[in-house]
Structure 1
Amino acid sequence: MGDQLPDKYAGIKERVDLNGKCVVPAFADSHIHFASFSLFLSTVDVRTVRDFYEMGEIINGYRRSNPREKLILGFGCSAHTVKEKRLPQRVDLDKMTTFPLLLVKYDGHAAVANTALLAKFPDAVQKSPGFDGETGWLYHQAFYDGVNYITGALSPLTLLKNLIHGADYLARKGIGLVHTVEGVGFPRDIDVDMMRVAAYGLPQNFRIYFQTMNVDKVQKRKMPRIGGCFATALDGCFGSEDAALSQPYSNNTNNKGVLVYTQQTVSDFVKRANRQELQVSMHAIGDAAVEQAVVAYEEALTDYPRRDHRHIIIHADLIPPSLQERAAKLGLHFAVQSPFLHWEQEPTDYLEEILGPRVKDLIPLKSMLKHGLTIAGGSDAPCTLPNPIHGIFAACQHPNPEQRISVLDALRMHTHWPARLSFDEATRGTLTEGKIADFVVLDRNPLKVTLDKLTEIRVENLFLKGQKYSGPPANSLGLMVKAAKNKLMSH
């Protein structure tokens, strides 16, 4: 904004002297599983534990503090942060508690249950592909079915309470615009419909992407966006070594990962959604999956050309220059996660082991900008905790110095460019006359500190529509009353 007051405001009576603090546009998170993040934020987080004993202590501490809970749901177990150097299995969880327990893996694509919970799962879950009763692990369809079974037991009031907690967490990090992917992890798409209503009462502005290939579901709800992860995930992830690669994994020459769908299936889906004027977003991590997405978009836009579709690829962790060039010609946008570059749960030495020299090509931010691609930062929460300041730091301190970007571009990744992804740039994303006054007060200017001090920057206040954020609705009833009032006013 500069440090001089424009002449047109010279006569204003009330001024606020920030005493050297800094104002930037409100931050955005361009890819978050908000309902799931809010759920896990209110349960057990084992990301920081150093061994199975400490994991058990946290789990039992939660149990003592929440005696009415029917089961324990946790998030974040990783083989890379515990001294055992492996993921826990059913027998390990049984030693921690005899109370029903499910721990979701740090990348959000699998989970492990103890014996008490396995016994409660209905036959439909136990017979799902990916169910391993011996180890207690649930992969692929079994994971989705198992989580749906558990979340189906939660009351709507509990879910709303979680959303309030989650929104407050985002606000404290200075986040005012949220691109959330919903439609997996809850039965009957309850998270989608609840978010569509709750969004009117939560402090941030939410843009909801329905994780489905069923175009009819989206059109029925008159939603403009479709896709995200899970149901529109074209491959897996590096943590499970099933992200789809064009060349084998370095630690297993027989493994190239998994393409979940055929090219025909993906192309047919994108063609139909594109013809219905929907914005499409798909998960693709490995270069083979990214190519599948690019091919599908190429075919869809040849079939039905659109000038300003802003179709999205999420992650694109491995995207070689040839694919960047093709994506740029199509006008594709990207929701990337720079925190993955400094992720304790999936450290660099592990990535080097499975990818070899390709590790230097992960999330090639500078190369993507040089190709003219729009890239927006996000957290993929609950995988990483939403923290735009950390995302900015990670983008400026890419492990490969050749892919580091400037602090200003990293700021744009978390403000202006996410607004472009959701067609909000006319009203949000920059501090420009005529736009909505969503902004953050930081305790120092990120353009004037050394890179090693970026993570020390603190969010002082968030302002939304010019009003200082003072907290979310007090309870679920207050949220619904506010949502109903705001929805009525919007029409």
Structure 2
Amino acid sequence: MQADLILRGATVVTMATDETGAGAPLAIAILDGRIAAVVPEGEAQRWIGDATRVVDVSGKTIVPGFIDSHVHFTQTGLGSLGPQVYDVTRRAQVLETVAAAHAMMADGEPMLVHGLAIADLDAPITMADLDRIAPRRAVMIGDVGAHGCIVSSAAWAMLELGALDGIGRDAQGRPDGVLTAKANTWARYQYYNRAISDARRAQALQRASQMAAEVGITTVHALEGGSPDGRGWLPERDVAVLLAEQATLPVRTVVYFQSTDVQKALDWQLPRIGGCIWVDGAYGEFTAALLEPYCNCAGCTGSLYFSDDELYAFVDRAHRAGLQISMHAIGDAAIEQLLNAYERALTETPRADHRHRIEHFSLPTEAHIARAARLGVAVGMQPNFAMVPDPLPQPDDEPAGLVAYLGYERYQRRHPYRRIVDAGVLVAGGSDADPMPMGPLIGMQRLAAHPEAARRLSAREALALYTVNGARIAFEEHLKGSIEPGKYADLVVLADNPLLADPSTLASIAVEQTIVNGRVVHARGADH
């Protein structure tokens, strides 16, 4: 039998065994988009025919294609197409960026600005500022955490917010363009529905796909759509466009519909529902739900966005329908509430191998970890968030950063990858792009080189999060996640072996090629 493509001369880390790739180079034969064989170099010749393309990748390392289990895919693409103000804290610089974009855009074209941390601005930005520098332009500047936005008067005119909570007002009581809480949720939902065309969405998906391929990602778990009920703000149209465009994208997508509308998921013939449906919020806004109060907000314990009965009703409907469920829970109170709902549904309607998910799982207790393992609940975590403060906080330090919110003891409980993996919980790695950057090698380095043992994994364990575990959490382990005959030829060619390299250098390993279905969709230094 003749292969379509032979990759030869490389170190191969299959993730099907415990090998490190330290042995002799191997050859991979690819036929009809699938892996036909992984053989010693000397056996490659029998797969080579007149039409076989042979590529020498000597000195490189091939690993399974990376799987990013948590991407807001349409939004990532949209963010890359418009003005970006990530890490910008100066009001003047933000306004300069908006003014420059306004000058380049056609009349009447709405503007969407990504990446601003509104709370970090040195001075406020208002509707009047946007109207002055971009007159008659609909402009929305979205907060990087998605919990706020700033709109121009032309954008305001597109919105129907009534008297919702969260509408900022000036000294005369007029809307000042700054929106939070429910006003932010509904404003984003309406703006994305009315100002962003489906053609723009399709363009964004192509751009996000190429961004993924550039960092070695071959499968994206796309968390799309939602509902403007305070638990999400992305429009359902995102899902419809993605489903229509799926076959044209250079990377594979696994669609998670971020809604509680079980029937709609079934109508779309999706085997899963949810994604990043908010059970709670985030630390910075004091909305991550905690069992004990925040240390810097007297009496504040965050927000649970569902009552116990509401959450269980949704989980029960989806579970009985045979769907996999995925929801966002950061704080320990939210994790407990979601585990309660999962356990009750599983008790009343037992189902083996359900693989229901908790996204983030940021602050679990030891009991939560043990319970997730017992129930078979999987977790989608984002190692990009496992950042290393310099210097590491100490018990007697003046509280700063996240320590100021949680206190030292709870801070030490955050992101306990080591304990979660050791407990046997299935963990998949993701990025939470946008706002975080896609980049599995970044996440691998954060884990493998982490100075705190509670957050440190071996390089192999870290790689598993983005390969075999990423496949398994989506019920796709028979198709991808390891390099074995019969599986998709989804591969990454790296400049170095991530299992043998210095863990502190993993993020700098170059992605030489990304291959999906046996086709090169990214090659360093070339356009595809």
Which whole-Å deviations, capped at 9, do the CAs of 1:391-435 have from their partners, x for residues lacking one?
Answer: 111122346333211111111111111111111111101112221
Indicate if the aligned counterparts of 1:105 and 1:111 stay in contact, CA closer than 8 A: yes
Shift of 1:43: 0.9
Q: Show structure 2 runs of 5+ residues with no match.
A: 1-11, 13-20, 27-38, 171-175, 227-231, 394-399, 524-528
- Write the distance in 2 (CA, Å) between the matches of 1:254 and 1:34: 36
Which whole-Å deviations, capped at 9, do the CAs of 1:425-483 have from their partners, x for residues lacking one?
Answer: 11101112221110001111112221221121111111111111159xxxxxxxxxxxx
Q: Could you say which residue in structure 1 is the equivalent of 2:164?
A: 128
Which secondary structure does the structure 1 equivalent of 2:161 belong to? helix
Q: Could you say which residue in structure 2 is the equivalent of 1:475?
A: none
Aligned counterparts, 1:121-270, within 5 A: 121-122=158-159, 124-134=160-170, 136-151=177-192, 152-184=194-226, 189-229=236-276, 232-270=277-315
Shift of 1:105: 1.1
User: One-letter code of the match for 1:129?
Assistant: D
- Write the distance in 1 (CA, Å) between the matches of 2:311 and 2:144: 27
With over 3 angstroms needed to count, the CA separation of the structure-2 counterparts of 1:154 and 1:100, relative to structure 1, is closer
With over 3 angstroms needed to count, the CA separation of the structure-2 counterparts of 1:89 and 1:450, relative to structure 1, is farther
- Write the distance in 1 (CA, Å) between the matches of 2:335 and 2:129: 37
Q: Could you say which residue in structure 1 is the equivalent of 2:16?
A: none
Aligned counterparts, 1:302-317, within 5 A: 302-317=347-362
Q: Show structure 1 runs of 5+ residues with no match.
A: 472-491
Which whole-Å deviations, capped at 9, do the CAs of 1:54-94 have from their partners, x for residues lacking one?
Answer: 22222222222223453321111125765x2x764556656
Q: Does 1:335 align with 2:387?
A: no
Q: Could you say which residue in structure 2 is the equivalent of 1:431?
A: 483
Aligned counterparts, 1:339-358, within 5 A: 339-342=384-387, 349-357=400-408, 358=410
Between Structure 1 and Structure 2, the one with more helix by share is 1
Alignment RMSD = 2.4
Aligned counterparts, 1:329-408, within 5 A: 329-342=374-387, 349-357=400-408, 358-398=410-450, 400-408=452-460
Indicate if the aligned counterparts of 1:341 and 1:399 stay in contact, CA closer than 8 A: no
Aligned counterparts, 1:13-28, within 5 A: 13=48, 15-28=54-67
With over 3 angstroms needed to count, the CA separation of the structure-2 counterparts of 1:339 and 1:303, relative to structure 1, is same
Aligned counterparts, 1:402-421, within 5 A: 402-421=454-473
Q: Does 1:113 align with 2:164?
A: no
Which secondary structure does the structure 1 equivalent of 2:191 belong to? helix
Indicate if the aligned counterparts of 2:417 and 2:454 stay in contact, CA closer than 8 A: no
With over 3 angstroms needed to count, the CA separation of the structure-2 counterparts of 1:443 and 1:288, relative to structure 1, is same
- Write the distance in 2 (CA, Å) between the matches of 1:343 and 1:51: 25
Aligned counterparts, 1:47-86, within 5 A: 47-68=86-107, 70-78=109-117, 84=122
Indicate if the aligned counterparts of 2:289 and 2:301 stay in contact, CA closer than 8 A: yes
- Write the distance in 2 (CA, Å) between the matches of 1:79 and 1:189: 26
Q: Could you say which residue in structure 1 is the equivalent of 2:516?
A: 464
With over 3 angstroms needed to count, the CA separation of the structure-2 counterparts of 1:45 and 1:187, relative to structure 1, is closer
Question: TM-score, structure 2 length as denominator?
Answer: 0.82
Indicate if the aligned counterparts of 1:182 and 1:209 stay in contact, CA closer than 8 A: yes
Which whole-Å deviations, capped at 9, do the CAs of 1:121-140 have from their partners, x for residues lacking one?
Answer: 43x32433333344533233
Larger radius of gyration: 2
Which whole-Å deviations, capped at 9, do the CAs of 1:203-260 have from their partners, x for residues lacking one?
Answer: 211111111112111122221111122xx31101112121000011110121000011
Which secondary structure does the structure 2 equivalent of 1:245 belong to? coil
Shift of 1:379: 1.3
User: One-letter code of the match for 2:44?
Assistant: Y
* Identity across matched positions, percent: 32
- Write the distance in 2 (CA, Å) between the matches of 1:186 and 1:131: 16
Indicate if the aligned counterparts of 1:76 and 1:104 stay in contact, CA closer than 8 A: yes
- Write the distance in 2 (CA, Å) between the matches of 1:403 and 1:452: 14
Once the two structures are overlaid, the 10-residue window that deviates more, 279-288 or 443-452, is 443-452
Once the two structures are overlaid, the 10-residue window that deviates more, 447-456 or 288-297, is 447-456
- Write the distance in 2 (CA, Å) between the matches of 1:67 and 1:76: 22
What is the aligned length? 463
Q: Could you say which residue in structure 2 is the equivalent of 1:325?
A: 370
Indicate if the aligned counterparts of 1:149 and 1:187 stay in contact, CA closer than 8 A: no
Indicate if the aligned counterparts of 2:386 and 2:455 stay in contact, CA closer than 8 A: no
- Write the distance in 2 (CA, Å) between the matches of 1:89 and 1:379: 31
Shift of 1:11: 3.2
- Write the distance in 2 (CA, Å) between the matches of 1:249 and 1:171: 40
- Write the distance in 2 (CA, Å) between the matches of 1:30 and 1:96: 39
Shift of 1:194: 1.1
Q: Could you say which residue in structure 2 is the equivalent of 1:487?
A: none
Which secondary structure does the structure 2 equivalent of 1:191 belong to? helix
